């Protein structure tokens, strides 16, 4: 990905060949529809529509000629678009965002290395690899050489879960057909008017308060048991090991009740997709972060860009009462206000906001400036 040239011997479709041989078609398509795709993705509620938009955007970036893609993306905030997608708990969206980021860093590393640092893309990838976005913190971080095994094992778990769910569905269908046949036979051999409605219900074998399992009051208890089993499975170390060791997958999905009655198939499929995204993020980190020690150390320390460091300094100066500022009761408000530390910090902040690049959302949210500004504005209100 990231190269519009197709590798020799790699089979391609007629559509791909047309895009490669006629780049002007893709340029026209991208210039007209790319902004629309971004707007539709931002406003669409349907997950399928959003995912199709991400797919189209990724394909445009993949096939767009490297010689003209910088001009095409110059005024488009694509880095700000990618960063929140990686942080979302939607594996499909995160996978597409990681693919876009890889393409951009391959084609335009001199541009998007800085943009990704400022918009928090690298920080989001590192957090994803470290497992900081885990819902309960019960799944061990996945990284290093086990990433491929993780994705394969997770996919195998999803396949086994789907197979178990299909088998259970078939068995349930067969049982339902047998119950229907039994009811018909019972009605055929029962004399009219001899049985009450309750007796007919009992003779037909129709459960009065059961769920899909057809076992009287066992339906609710069965679902409760399944929920407890899934919770226990998710919290157990065996679940984390099963994501790395393929031989444990069969044991992890060997309980059909957990997979079918309580939605265990979807549960395992979701974690399979999450494990695949973590593996993709680890690959991205190895390609674009680990091989650059200075960038990797900056991201690991949470320092970020120069603008982020400047904002943190301004936030500190704004609320420090020991400095020569209006917050210091020993300072008299006479003379030039520009000499006061808090006023000077506000002037520097205004200058930063007036610049073309300005301040990104990630930098503002992680600088502590918002909290410092609030504390500064309400200082002395008591």
The rounded mean pLDDT for the chain is 72
- The string of DSSP letters for 157-170 reads HHHHHHHHHHHHHH
Digit-coded pLDDT (tens) for 143-157 = 344 444 444 444 454
pLDDT band at residue 382 under the 50/70/90 scheme: low
Q: Which two tokens stand for residue 261?
A: 């009655």
Q: Which two tokens stand for residue 375?
A: 């504390």
Cα 30 from Cα 36, distance rounded (Å): 10
- 364 CB-near residues (< 8 Å, 6+ apart): 311, 370
Digit-coded pLDDT (tens) for 106-141 = 999 999 999 999 999 999 999 999 875 444 334 343
pLDDT the model gives residue 266: 61
Mutual angle of helices 23-43 and 47-63, in 10-degree steps: 150
pLDDT the model gives residue 351: 93
Higher pLDDT, 89 or 79: 79
Where are the strands (E) in 279-370, listed by range?
none
Q: Which two tokens stand for residue 364?
A: 């503002």
Cα 139 from Cα 316, distance rounded (Å): 37
pLDDT of residue 94 exceeding 70? yes
Digit-coded pLDDT (tens) for 333-355 = 777 888 899 999 999 999 999 98
pLDDT band at residue 245 under the 50/70/90 scheme: very low
pLDDT the model gives residue 29: 84
Q: Which two tokens stand for residue 357?
A: 């690049």
CB distance 4 to 22 below 8 Å: no
pLDDT of residue 36 exceeding 60? yes
Q: Which two tokens stand for residue 45?
A: 């509620």
- Whole-model pTM? 0.62
């Amino acid at each position: 990905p990231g190269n519009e040239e197709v590798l020799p011997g790699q089979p391609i479709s007629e559509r791909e060949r047309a895009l490669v041989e006629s780049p002007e078609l893709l340029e026209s398509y991208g210039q007209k529809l790319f902004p629309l795709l971004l707007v539709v993705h931002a406003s669409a509620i349907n997950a399928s529509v959003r995912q199709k938009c991400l797919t189209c955007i990724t394909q445009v970036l993949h096939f767009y000629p490297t010689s003209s893609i910088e001009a095409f993306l110059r005024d488009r905030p694509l880095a700000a678009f990618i960063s929140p997608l990686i942080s979302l708990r939607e594996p499909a969206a995160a996978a597409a965002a990681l693919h876009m980021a890889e393409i951009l860093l391959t084609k335009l590393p001199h541009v998007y290395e800085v943009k990704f640092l400022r918009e928090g893309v690298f920080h989001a990838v590192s957090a994803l690899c470290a497992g900081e976005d885990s819902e309960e913190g019960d799944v061990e971080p996945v990284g290093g050489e086990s990433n491929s095994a993780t994705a394969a094992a997770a996919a195998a778990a999803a396949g086994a879960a789907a197979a178990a769910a299909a088998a259970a569905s078939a068995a349930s269908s067969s049982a339902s057909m047998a119950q229907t046949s039994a009811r018909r036979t019972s009605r055929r051999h029962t004399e009219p008017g001899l049985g009450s409605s309750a007796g007919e219900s009992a003779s037909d074998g129709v459960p009065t308060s059961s769920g899909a399992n057809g076992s009287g009051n066992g339906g609710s208890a069965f679902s409760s048991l399944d929920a407890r089993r899934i919770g226990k499975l998710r919290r157990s170390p065996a679940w984390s090991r099963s994501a790395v060791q393929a031989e444990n997958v069969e044991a992890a999905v060997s309980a059909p009740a957990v997979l079918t009655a309580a939605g265990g198939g979807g549960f395992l499929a979701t974690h399979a997709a999450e494990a695949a995204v973590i593996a993709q993020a680890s690959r991205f980190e190895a390609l674009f972060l680990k091989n650059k020690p200075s960038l990797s150390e900056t991201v690991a320390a949470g320092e970020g860009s120069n603008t982020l460091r400047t904002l943190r300094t301004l936030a500190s100066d704004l609320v420090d009462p020991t400095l020569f500022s209006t917050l210091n009761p020993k300072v008299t408000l006479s003379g030039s206000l520009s000499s006061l530390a808090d006023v000077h910090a506000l002037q520097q902040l205004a200058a930063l906001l007036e610049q073309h690049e300005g301040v990104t959302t990630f930098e503002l949210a992680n600088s502590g400036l918002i909290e410092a500004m609030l504390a500064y504005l309400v200082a002395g209100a008591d």
